[in-house]
Each structure stands twice: as structure tokens, then as C-alpha cells.
Amino acid sequence: MNSTREFVLVAPLMAGLSATPTARFCKQTRTRRQAASYLRMRTGWRTRRALVARMSIGGEAVSRFRVSFPSLIVALLAASNFAGAQTGIKEKKPVFGGACRICPWGAMAEVVQAAMKPYGYDVQICYNCNAADAPRIVSEARMPPPYKPDPAVPEILAPRNAPGLGAVDFGAVAIQFLRNAYRGTGPYARDKPRTNLRLIANIQDPSYVIVAAKAASGITDLSQIRQKRWPVRILTAGIGGDFTRVLAHFGLSRQTIEAAGGRIGNTPEDRENFDVAIGGGGGMTTAPEWRIWTEISQRFDLNFIELPDDLLAELAREGEQDRGIIPVGLYRGMERPIPTVVRTGTAIYGRADMPDGFAYAVAKAMDEQQQLLQWRHLNFSYNVHTVWNGYEVPLHPGAARYYKEKHYMK
């Protein structure tokens, strides 16, 4: 194909394609296979023949031209934007970065989606904008990543994203992830601080540090492990519990435990053959982050262990957590309230460049549609005293205006 004809074919389509996605696409797709995979994700069209059949310009099908593969790629990417797939805040189809439907961030995505409908917004959910990359995706206004199966849940619970989603506008993430990303600490220590992130609403969602031992092990205090040099098998259970710091308080480490013939792990075998479980747990739920506690507490008789006060103070200080109480009956075998530390907060957040009116609308919707939180499988709750608190992460001015109008904050 000569350059003139190629330009005639592609230029009309390029007029509707923003420069940022185009540049990102060119950088990220270096092979035909990568490009084809990207196009399937963006358009839902699965074969080159189907791709060509879908495109027409001025009534003439593209297949009448001898189109080079790179030209076809660029043209099709542009066509996917033209085909009614425009998303964004201005179009009232903002893209929300979430996770699987039963994960906290995915469950929150569906709450936000429902909450925004009465205000004229059709929120589009990215179900795989998750894990440590979540704040990076929002901060950089990235496109949703290509689909890949989630090993923790079936596809019906982590569905493929709708074709044609544009850049992610806002999302949900655990408050500690948001704080670390904003500061460039923890898992983001190699990143620059993402100071363009802004809080919109902090919804309560407790996750406790939990320690338990199988009743048959005879362990009632972790100090027994070192004193008796038992070859214990430790299960790292759930997200959010710092097992290394807990063990270190008792003079234990992976090395000392393995030297005594023990093991630390989280394999299917470890979930069967363990003596002690240490980790984070939320409510009795099927959420992948915490369901291990639901499973093992139902299958085994457990003794839940209270950690020393000085260790809890250290965990609260170093892990930026709050002191709290694990309630009686949270899991089978939990027969007394247990002092611990707790992380709480699933943050709805966006960028500093988000229009004030939209941030205001999200804050308003989450307040006025609080009833949606009670019908989720997770322990979400709305607290007027903390909904605006992002710690060092600034509150978006639009959200701040709403909370001040309601007198939730000064």
C-alpha cells in the first residue's frame, strides 16, 4: 500500500483517537500477537476477518484495500473508539478501577456503579484493575490491562471487561495502598510519590490481625514455639497480617523455624497441615483475601491467641493500624473478644485533575445511597466522622465541598 492511500484510509479514524492511548498502544504492542490480543480486549472482535468486516469507511469495506498490518491495527483501534465505546467523566461513562466481584475493591465498584445511576452516570467497571498496580493505573490514567484469568475465582466472578473501555478515571483500593502510593513507600518505594492521587470517600471495612493454633497442637502462646523448639508448621493466612513482625517479637524467623524442622507457607498442603495460622481476616466471607479463615475455622478446632500489648502497640505504630477488638463469634471458635490491631477503609479515590463537580457527585451519591453498602457480603459501613479522612492523602476539593456542606468536617 502506498503512503497516500494509507493516509486516506487511516486519517479519518485517527481524528477520533486520543493521542495518549495511541502512543501507549504503539509502545506496548511490539508484535502482531501482542497487537491482536490488545485489539481483542479493546474491541471484542476475535479474528482478523471479523475485524476487517466490522470496518467500513464512506461505505467501502476496508477489505477492498490492500491494508498493511500496522495500518489495520491503528485504524481498528481508532474504530473501536468510534463504535459507541467512548467512556469518561465528560461522557457520563466514567471507568472505575475495581477487582473481582467478591473482592473488596470489586464489591465497592458495584456499589459505586449503582449509587451513581440516579445521578445520570453509567459507571463502567474494570474488574482486573487490581493488586498493587491499582493506584498506578488510576494515577497514570492507564487503559485497563488485558484480561487474564484470576486463579482465585471463576470467570463469572472476575468477568472480562466490556469492550472499548477507555482510560481509568477513578477506583477503589485499601486505604493503606493509597497512602503508600501517595508517599512512594512500601510496595511503591521504587516509584515516585503519586501526589496526584485524591481521596473521595473512605468507607469502613475492617481487617484484623488474627493468630490461631490448632487445638490439637497444644499451643496457647507463641512463646512456646521457641521455648520448646517445636517443629511447627505456620500457615500465612489472609492479607494484611504481618507474620514476620509477629514472629520476630518472639525471637522467631523463617530461618529459625525451618532449622527446627518446621515450615512457613500458604500452599494447599499448608492449609491442611499446619499448627499455627497468622494473617489478616475480615468478616466471615468468601472474599479471596480472607476466606481462608472462614475455611479453616469451619474445618478445624482452633484456639485464637491474644498477642501481647507491647506487640500490638508496635504493630499499630509501625503498620499504621488502629487498636481494635475482634468481636466474639467472628469465626467458629472465637468465644471471647480479642484485642488486636485493625486496618479499616476501602478508599474511593481519583486524581487531582478530576472535575470538582464529579468528585462532589460521587461523595453525594455514596452518602445518599448508603443503603447499598448493607446488601454486600462484606462489612462495609459509612461513618460521617471518617469518610473524609485520607490521612496524608488530600481530599479532593469537590468531595471536601460536599462534606463541609453536610457538616461532616470543618
Q: Measured between alpha carbons, how far is 77 from 73 in angstroms, rounded to an integer?
A: 6
CA 92 to each of CA 48, 113, 117, 123: distance values in angstroms, whole numbers, following the listed order: 32, 12, 10, 8
pLDDT at residue 32 greater than cutoff 90: no
pLDDT at residue 69 greater than cutoff 70: no
Domain range summary for the chain, segments of one domain joined by + = 3-82, 95-203+352-405, 206-343
Question: pLDDT by residue (tens digit) across 52-65?
Answer: 433 333 333 334 43
Position 3 scores a pLDDT of 39
Question: pLDDT by residue (tens digit) across 226-260?
Answer: 888 789 999 999 877 789 999 999 999 999 999 99
How much is the CA Rg of the chain, to the nearest whole Å? Answer: 25
The CATH-assigned architecture of domain 95-203+352-405 is 3-Layer(aba) Sandwich (3.40)
Percent of residues, the chain, with pLDDT higher than 90: 72
CB atoms within 10 A of CB 162: 15
Domains 95-203+352-405 and 206-343 equal at CATH topology level: yes
Binned at pLDDT 50, 70 and 90, residue 66 comes out as very low
pLDDT at residue 186 greater than cutoff 60: yes
In the three-class reduction of DSSP (H, G, I as helix; E, B as strand; rest coil), residue 123 is classed as coil
pLDDT at residue 83 greater than cutoff 50: no
Position 320 scores a pLDDT of 80
Position 23 scores a pLDDT of 43
Question: pLDDT by residue (tens digit) across 318-369?
Answer: 878 899 999 999 999 999 999 999 998 999 999 999 999 999 999 999 999 9
Task: Please state the CATH superfamily assignment of the domain spanning residues 206-343 in this structure.
Answer: Periplasmic binding protein-like II (3.40.190.10)
Q: Give me the residue label for grid cell 479522612.
A: 389
